[in-house]
A and B are shown apart, each in its own frame.
Chain A
Amino acid sequence: MAKKRDKVILVDTTLCTGCKACQIACKEWHNLPATEFEHVPGTYQNPADRNANTLMLMKFIEQYDKSTDTMDWIFWKDQCMHCTDAPCVEVCPSEALFTHEDGFVGFNQESCIGCTYCSKVCPFDIPRFETDTLTGSKYMNKCDFCQDRVTNGEVPACVRTCPTNCLEFDTWQNAVDKAYKRVEEIKDQYPNANVYGDTEMGGLHYIYVLTDKPETYGLPVEPKTDDLVSFRRDVVKPATKLLMGATAAGLLTNFIVASANYGKEEQETNDDTANGDDKNE
């Protein structure tokens, strides 16, 4: 479980105006180039998806309710969720991904070898890659929780720039408590309101106040990762080492025993040349 004092970003979607200031601030702080404009029909979302140069994306969902003839316009901030039980950290071979002492999942791009294992296990489909013609992918990129700012006592760039208090930087327990209180306050207006992130993947380090069910946002209701992740860690890797060691030891034993025995036989045959037959098969 996430620790009470972990650092966390609280997203109260009811306060979001969809201004995208956070999306720009994120790019600016990470010195990432603009992505070619891509017209996505019927939405303000741009670009269509996150990429190696767009670590977070404001998502725009238009919900038309026929029964009341009303329109609901949903915004939410999409980036790495910073899982406590992060499968990406588990599979990353190069220690590019790591769990920071403040609880979030940090990222050292210089260490990333582009193996794409993280993207195979992330339940939120977060990792995006800079492509490479020969090997497919050169390196991954994702929200790093502004680790350079946070470790120096600053708030993340997106939080810093948010004009409406939709984004708040807090400790984990505080944020969860605030989120539940907020859900109580808005229940009348949004009967489906709920807190997302306090139980998922051992506790996320992004806590959301959502006005509708997670499905509406395209978020997994019960995010989980494949059992193969732990099976590879607990069984396949140790077994590989064990079998390799055992085989090497067996062959060494054979070498010692066989050398002694075959040497003996050779001598016997040499002594007994009259016999003529070479036993040394």
Chain B
Amino acid sequence: MSKRKKTLVKRYDLPDMIMHWTVAVGFVLALLTGYAVFFEGTSALLVNEIGVFIRLLHRIGGVLFVVAPVLYFIFSKKRFGFLRAFKWSKSDLGWLLAAPKHYFVGGDSMPPQEKYNTGQKMFYLFAVVFGFLLAISGFILWFNWFSATAQLIFLFIHDVSAVLLTLFFFVHVYLVIFHPADRMSFNAMATGYMDREYAKNSHELWYNEVKAQEVKKMEKNA
């Protein structure tokens, strides 16, 4: 066993990471360009060529945002991984109740978590539901389907889905980049490996599963 494997535990494969980062890039691109049009402060600065270019970037972002998960769903063996986001139990309530203390003060009161904790599941759920609405409404706006009145409704759906997803996205980015307890989880999606201690503490149930598999593999090799 290499030293790396001793302190780290495998969490993501290359296709998982490619899909995550493609979605992320697409989302950020769509977010920046979408809000450049949405907010008066920035939209007033737009002129014809720049505006059309911004709207083109928005579409490129949108396409990346949609194409990555679709390809992933077709080709990855873990295509149904997202269903995890729909599996909820009583312990999730415990997590939610304990979360404010954990995230502000620290402490060990959190119920043991699976591969994704309750907050991550919520974000995943938001991404699936509102990402879907964003994509549908976005393509309807792009290709001018249905009547003008319907278009206005889809613009409204696009606005609301965008802001809900954006707020949760802020939280997501904050936690994995800045939060003192959780920022080390960034490495998991950047490298595919997660710190063993962190995994044990934050995703106990998942960690135990992985551990059991590791042991089995080792026995087989021996």
Contacts and interface: CB of A to CB of B under 8 A. Distances in A.
Interface in A228-281: 228-229, 231-232, 236-237, 239-241, 243-244, 247-248, 251, 254-255, 257-259, 261-263, 265, 278-281
A138 B52 contact: yes
Contacts of A115: 37, 51, 55
A139 interface: yes
A120 interface: yes
B134 interface: no
Contacts of B108: 279, 281
B57 to A, nearest CB: 10
Contacts of A231: 156
Nearest to A123: B148
B181 A281 contact: yes
B82 interface: no
A254 B179 contact: yes
Given A258-B179, A261-B105, A280-B181, A139 B159 contact: no
Contacts of B152: 120-121, 226, 228-229
A136 B143 contact: yes
A247 B38 contact: no
A243 B46 contact: no
Contacts of A132: 52
Task: List 5 tightest A-B contacts by C-beta distance, closest first.
Answer: A113-B51, A93-B43, A262-B180, A251-B174, A120-B151
A120 B106 contact: no
A35 interface: no
Given A113-B55, A228-B153, A236-B156, A247 B148 contact: no
A281 B43 contact: no
Nearest to A278: B197
A126 to B, nearest CB: 11
B163 A240 contact: yes
Contacts of B149: 120, 226
